A and B are shown apart, each in its own frame.
Chain A
């Protein structure tokens, strides 16, 4: 009953904006990391380890 009587205050309008912004952001954040990024990191890591072991041999 109290809720119905209350006028939306500016801060609530702000929090409506904030909430939508967060929803948008979190929807992406909760997606699984695309495989291409995992592959890329794996390749970068392997390349680095390969070059490191090569330079260790010499």
Chain B
């Protein structure tokens, strides 16, 4: 009985230090997690709601996190899953709010530093969500393709092609497309003929 009690106490002490390490690592990852959420969603308020939800989920399941493994990838996975489950729940609401979002952008351009970045933000928001998350994870969050594939639950090749499609699409939208790749006219011609087929 006394042995049991002593053992319990040691266990509790261990989890106190594990817990504070977890809290410390969670805190250290928050700025990046939040940057991911805001890049993904565009709106600070919705993104912060998502981050809050992620913190609570992560805290509740911290036992399932293996100390010493990549907490950043683990947290990003939780946030991403939460994002998609919310999107499924209220997909309509998110779509409907796009107009409001664009409007709020134009009244707060200083938030994005320059007009240039504002255009970029708009272009980013027009990408399909899977391409947007791929290019953010690889191009800004600093994950390797393998890690991004794990976060998104798909093959490495899928991530690579999403990133590549995202880049092409962004270049098209921002008007820097093509010339180097296809010569001055071929790229445009391809786009035009595609447009006529549809």
List chain A positions with a Cβ less than 8 A from chain B: 7-10, 13-14, 16-18, 20-31, 33-34, 36-38, 40-41, 44-45, 48-49, 52, 56
Contacts and interface: CB of A to CB of B under 8 A. Distances in A.
Given A8-B180, A56-B12, A17 B38 contact: no
B51 interface: yes
B180 A28 contact: no
Interface in B67-124: 112-113, 116-117, 120-121, 124
Contact of B19 (A22, A26, A45, A56): A45
B120 A24 contact: yes
Interface in B23-74: 23, 26-27, 30-32, 34-36, 38-39, 48, 51-52, 55-56, 59
Interface of B: 8-9, 12, 15-16, 19-20, 23, 26-27, 30-32, 34-36, 38-39, 48, 51-52, 55-56, 59, 112-113, 116-117, 120-121, 124, 135-136, 139-141, 167, 170-171, 174, 176-177, 180-181
A27 B113 contact: yes
A52 B113 contact: no
Contacts of A20: 116-117, 120
29 contacts: A9-B180, A10-B181, A17-B139, A17-B170, A17-B171, A17-B174, A18-B139, A20-B117, A21-B120, A22-B140, A24-B39, A24-B120, A25-B141, A26-B140, A27-B112, A28-B38, A29-B31, A29-B34, A31-B31, A34-B48, A36-B48, A40-B56, A41-B27, A44-B56, A45-B20, A49-B16, A52-B16, A56-B8, A56-B12
Contacts of B12: 52, 56
A37 B30 contact: yes
Contacts of A56: 8-9, 12
B175 to A, nearest CB: 10
Contacts of B8: 56
Nearest to B119: A20
A28 B136 CA distance: 13
